[in-house]
Amino acid sequence: MAKTSPLNLRMTVYSSLFTALIIIGGYLSFPIPMNPVPVVLSDFFVLLAGLLLGASWGFTSVAMFIFLGALGLPVFAGGKAGLAVIVGPTGGFLFGFLAAAAVIGWIAGKGKISVLKDLVASFIAGVIVIYSFGVIGIMLVLKTTLLKALAIGVLPFLPGAVIKVIAAVILAQVLRPLLQPQFKSNANSNDSNDNQ
Amino acid sequence: MAAINIFHYLPGNSVIHRIDTRIKLVCMIMLSITTSLMGRVWDYLFLTIILLLFFWLSGMPVPRLLKELKYFHLLILMIIGIQAFSLPPAPGAFIPIPGFTLAGLKSGLLLGWRLVVIVIICLLFTGTTQISSLRRAVEWFLHFIPGLPAARIGTMFSLTFVIIPLIFDRAAEISDAQKARCVSGRKNPWQRISFMVFPLLRRTFEQADEMAMAMESRCYSEVYRKTAMKTSGYDWMALGFTALVCGFLFLL
Amino acid sequence: MNILETQNLTHIFPDDTIGIHDINLRFQAGEFTILSGTNGSGKTVLVKHFNGLLTPSGGRVLFEGKPITANLKYTRSSIGLVFQDSNNQIVGQTVAEDVAFGPENLGLSPTEVKRRVQKALTAVDLSHLANQRPYVLSGGQKRKLAIAGVLAMEPKIIIFDEPFTGLDYPGVRQVLQQILELHHNNHTIILITHELEKVLGHAHRIIVMDRGKVVMDGSPGKVIAGIENYGLKKPHGNVETMTWLQ
Ligand SMILES: Nc1ncnc2c1ncn2[C@@H]1O[C@H](COP(=O)(O)OP(=O)(O)O)[C@@H](O)[C@H]1O
Ligand SMILES: [Mg+2]
């Protein structure tokens, strides 16, 4: 609907929506074929937040997610909470999420929007940024070598990460128009809720 | 359907429940910092005993704590395992497992213990604090920091926890509708997910738009909301005691 | 004086769909009006304009003789809108906190906020659930919570967008009872519904919309005869006493 809503309020709500999705994504883990570890969807929603909300609101969503976790609310993958996770071996990934949302929003949002740019941005953010931070975190906390850190923190997750990058880009193409304030969806939500 | 209960709060009226949330938050932060700085077995033992005392005072059931630790057990085991194998071996000592060292095991155990302590601190805090009063406390602290939109952060805090159950409701609706249309018969998991995720996000986005409008119609504004929080001597005592514990750990 | 008035109000969406077209309506204080019409006839778009939530493509809305845009905050606190889906309107962690949302935004003092929350919760009979989390409430209770949230702003006009949707029989009766009580307490009521048999007996006036236009407007007795031309089901029985209460 054409909104008079100050854009800020709308983006505030959307940003919270993505924080919620990132949290839920951490509870949803599922196996992918031929791969030893199940993947969670948190990073998928982080990428989507960056693509759809842009750098600063995407960053805000992730920052809120980490902040809530730091306060002790069980929002991290599998219901974990607190500083224990942030300073723990997987903490690097959380900072990676934060950087990823900003990076992807920044690259994808610069100039004209295109699928190719989305893909490049997602790949850089979703694979390179997140996993670099993750590996550094593992090395710092567990005091392991780079090779060991790669073996436990990256290799098993790589296939999942690539699939998630691609899925996020595809989904962003169809969802982006919905975020435009002028957009009209044919299936108006009011109508579909009416019980005759 | 809130199948995933992401709220830890256990209603009660214990001495821990009654501490002003702002002070409780400060206590939690002080204890967490102390935990990550201390390094001797005695420190851990002392703090663990104090925390277990708090836990007992809070009236929370013990299974609650065990359940919480269960989430972390893999992480803890992993830390211990990796540490045990990652220190250079002491010269002369003979251990039949290659790469394994006693010093490594010890440092792994301490790291694991630290994690347990932090988990207990968090549980003590979130288990005795309502989300809404935590939001108010956070907003109160943040509104002293110039340039930070405390009210908006508070709003986002609330909204996140309002939206989570809504998403579950939508997800349940959509998955029912798709079961009726036999979508789950498809083998490819990615296809199944995209059939789920797209409609889910589309519906949630529409809902978010309505929500923004409803908030606007109730005069949403980002002025800092004054709250009627009050501290009493009791709260300051709690703070003093926590400070004493932390100071004791630092000094000795 | 008319409490609420629209002048040539038109809303056309960017994709050229006509939301509403050239609406001229006047509402008197204390009136109980039903706004009816098939899905997509423009009812929701119209009432969103009453609340200043959409910008008109043409025309304007006057509240107490002044354009609503002159003081949106005053308009919105005086014209309460209960949305069709209560889930979208509930933003608090607890029932009491949600009701406090409006008054807090108005910048009232904590004691005044508290007073209003208690009053509103008592009015909808939810005081005993003040500390519950909203999502555990039943459909009818959620609707009442949404109403309480609006009441706490102490509005003069209250607009209900399809308040019976998705409620069971006791739920409908509770909400209807609530609406009537508000009307007796001198609130002006605008009720959107196509389930006429549930409320018609209480209304002074019924407005029927079709494809963005007002096509009928008058007392229930007069309007009811032609209602089937516009896709609405004509209820059986005596219009004057038609209600789901008693
Ligand atoms: N966001 C939107 N964009 C474009 N058209 C819309 C939008 N929302 C509603 N409409 C259209 O406006 C008309 C009136 O809708 P609405 O007021 O919701 O009807 P109802 O009487 O069922 O409440 C419909 O044709 C609908 O498709
Ligand atoms: Mg409608």
Q: C9: which 2 tokens?
A: 């109000």
Confidence of residue A186 (pLDDT cuts 50, 70, 90): very low
Confidence of residue A180 (pLDDT cuts 50, 70, 90): confident
pTM for the structure as a whole: 0.86
The answer, yes or no, to whether any atom of ligand 1 lies below 6 A from the CB of C20, is no
Q: Which of C53, C55, C84 sits opposite A193 (nearest CB)?
A: C84
Confidence of residue A2 (pLDDT cuts 50, 70, 90): very low
**Beta carbons of C93 and B161 less than 8 Å apart:** yes
Pick the closest to residue B113 from B45, B207, B30 (CA basis): B45
The answer, yes or no, to whether any atom of ligand 1 lies below 6 A from the CB of C193, is no
Measured between alpha carbons, how far apart are the two ends of chain B, in Å? 51
Q: How high is the ipTM of this complex?
A: 0.92
Pick the closest to residue C194 from C46, C32, C36 (CA basis): C36
Answer yes or no: are the C-beta atoms of B141 and B227 closer than 8 Å. no
Name the closest residue on chain C to residue B135, using Cα atoms.
C93
Pick the closest to residue C5 from C57, C64, C72 (CA basis): C64
**Beta carbons of B130 and C93 less than 8 Å apart:** yes
**C69 touching B, CB under 8 A?**
no
**Beta carbons of A189 and B206 less than 8 Å apart:** yes
Q: Which residues make beta-bridge pairs with C160?
A: C82, C191
What percentage of chain A carries pLDDT values higher than 90?
A: 45
Distance from CA of C240 to the nearest CA of A (A): 24
| C 46-85: CB under 8 A from A | 48, 52-55, 84-85
**Is A145 or A2 the better-scoring residue by pLDDT?**
A145
Distance from CA of C135 to the nearest CA of A (A): 15
Atom number in ligand 1 closest to CA A183:
3
pLDDT tens column, B87-137: 665 555 566 666 677 777 887 888 888 888 888 888 888 888 888 888 889
**C169 touching A, CB under 8 A?**
no
**Beta carbons of C93 and B132 less than 8 Å apart:** yes
Q: A97: which 2 tokens?
A: 């999420």
Nearest CA to ligand 1 atom 12: C19
pLDDT at res. B108: 81
The best mutation among A10, A188, A192 to test binding of ligand 1, ranked by most ligand atoms within 8 Å of the C-beta, falls on A188
**A16 touching C, CB under 8 A?**
no
Element (H, E) at C188: strand C188-192
pLDDT at res. B207: 92
**CA atoms of B243 and C224, how far apart (whole Å):** 74
**C210 touching A, CB under 8 A?**
no
* pLDDT of A82 over the 60 cut: yes
Pairing outcome for strands C2-12 and C58-63: antiparallel
Distance from CA of A136 to the nearest CA of C (A): 38
Work out the mean pLDDT of chain A and round it to a whole number. Answer: 82
Confidence of residue B164 (pLDDT cuts 50, 70, 90): confident
**Is C12 or B63 the better-scoring residue by pLDDT?**
C12
Q: Which of C11, C17, C39 sits opposite A194 (nearest CB)?
A: C39
The answer, yes or no, to whether any atom of ligand 1 lies below 6 A from the CB of C19, is yes
* pLDDT of B154 over the 80 cut: yes
The answer, yes or no, to whether any atom of ligand 1 lies below 6 A from the CB of A190, is yes
pLDDT at res. B184: 59
Q: B169: which 2 tokens?
A: 């409701």
pLDDT tens column, A35-47: 666 678 899 999 9
* Mean pLDDT for the stretch of residues A90-110: 93
Q: Which of A4-13, A92-101, B95-104, B128-137 is the least confident region? A: B95-104
Q: Which of A72, A84, A171 sits opposite B125 (nearest CB)?
A: A72
Q: How many CA atoms lie within 13 A of C119 on its CB side?
A: 13
Segments in chain C below pLDDT 70: none
Confidence of residue B166 (pLDDT cuts 50, 70, 90): confident
Pick the closest to residue A174 from C89, B200, C68 (CA basis): B200
The answer, yes or no, to whether any atom of ligand 1 lies below 6 A from the CB of A143, is no
Q: Which of A1, A183, A194 sits opposite C54 (nearest CB)?
A: A1
| Cα B176 to middle of ligand 1, angstroms | 27
Q: How many CA atoms lie within 13 A of A139 on its CB side?
A: 14
The answer, yes or no, to whether any atom of ligand 1 lies below 6 A from the CB of C43, is yes
Confidence of residue A1 (pLDDT cuts 50, 70, 90): very low
Domains and CATH numbers, chain A: 6-180 (1.10.1760.20)
pLDDT tens column, B211-248: 999 999 999 988 776 666 778 888 999 999 999 998 88
Atom number in ligand 1 closest to CA C40:
19
pLDDT at res. C30: 93
| DSSP-derived 3-state class of residue C42 | coil
**CA atoms of B70 and B62, how far apart (whole Å):** 13
pLDDT at res. A65: 96
**Beta carbons of A74 and B6 less than 8 Å apart:** yes
